[in-house]
Structure 1
Amino acid sequence: MSGDAIAFVPLGDVAPDVVISHMSDPRMGVHMPLLTGAWGDDDYVRFRAAKDACWQRDGLGHWAILHDGNYAGWGGFQKEGDEWDFGLVLRPDCFGLGMMITRKALAFARSDPRIPFVTFLLPPSRTKLGALRRIGARFVGPVDHDGKAFLKYRLETA
């Protein structure tokens, strides 16, 4: 899936060292409670195996995200139980692209009959949530995910 400046491509289209560098940036851990430190080759292999398994199981998952042909981060839809959760992990120099990428991903979700709604799990450290409200997401409540606290939002796509 591609568009003007944003393209969603397979994770394997991006060199592992680029993703490892991205996920090892100390700024990434500020809003990622499940990120426990710098990544190495083994972390990348586990990450890819988990994300590839989602594609195999559900026919959808996370993409590498390119902006003007350059790696901006990764994200997409991952099935959590009966719900499709949207996640987005951008390089710090690409944080300003978040809404543009999210709008493109949500357009994809609205065109896919498997996705009647999406959820967003955000860490409590995220305090600027106006953009979620503006796109129509509503707060569901606090949830525990892998032993960490998150704020859950839901957006109808149908």
Structure 2
Amino acid sequence: MIPAQKQEITFTRLPEISPDALIAHMSDPRVAEHMPLLTFEWDRDMVAKFVAAKEGCWRRDGLGHWAFLCDGSYVGWGGFQREGDEWDFGLVLRPDAFGLGARIAWKAIAFARADDRIPFVTFLLPPSRRNLGALGRMGAEFVEEIEYDGARFLKFRLDTA
């Protein structure tokens, strides 16, 4: 387990991460447990498509998903993705880095608050996620239950202005 308060958290782009690290991360059943849309096997081809899609968001929107590093080591990925008129924030950590979620989220939200394009952020969480206290501490409020790509999610909103 990575201690949650002592290391430096940095963000980089996904092409900087080895495909093997992404495959190992996304193939862990503890990660898939709360990802209802993860219904396929991760291999080098899937990693290439995933990274290309996320980099496409950067080209299209000027913002997208990062790889998260703790003291230079890959601990997960996530970031902002434009969904219509909204910016959705996602965070997918390696199981040994689950304790870093709040620190990474706070750093990303600080980024959103400094960006005039992002008046609010949405979060989509599967109903299997029971510990939602961190969202409340950030100031996010429950909006509604929605269906996205055939799966149910709880939608929250955080004003960043």
TM-score (norm 2): 0.94
The runs of at least 4 consecutive aligned structure 1 residues that moved more than 2 Å come to: none
Number of the residue aligned with 1:83? 86
Q: Name the amino acid aligned to 2:20.
A: D
Number of the residue aligned with 1:65? 68
- Kindly state the Cα deviation for residue 38 of structure 1 after the two structures are TM-superposed: 3.2
Identity of aligned residues (%): 65
Q: Name the amino acid aligned to 2:119.
A: P
TM-score (norm 1): 0.96
**Number of aligned positions between the proteins:** 155
**Superposition map of 1:6-155 within 5 A:** 6-155=9-158
Q: Within 2, Cα distance between the matches of 1:55 and 1:149?
A: 27
Q: Within 2, Cα distance between the matches of 1:123 and 1:116?
A: 24
- Kindly state the Cα deviation for residue 62 of structure 1 after the two structures are TM-superposed: 0.1
Q: Within 2, Cα distance between the matches of 1:130 and 1:26?
A: 24
**Structure 2: which 5+ runs fail to align?**
1-6
The question of whether the paired residues in 2 share the 8 Å contact of 1:54 and 1:78 is answered with yes
- Kindly state the Cα deviation for residue 63 of structure 1 after the two structures are TM-superposed: 0.3
State the SS of the aligned residue for 2:116. Answer: coil
State the SS of the aligned residue for 1:19. Answer: helix
**Structure 1: which 5+ runs fail to align?**
none
Q: Name the amino acid aligned to 2:85.
A: D
- Kindly state the Cα deviation for residue 37 of structure 1 after the two structures are TM-superposed: 4.1
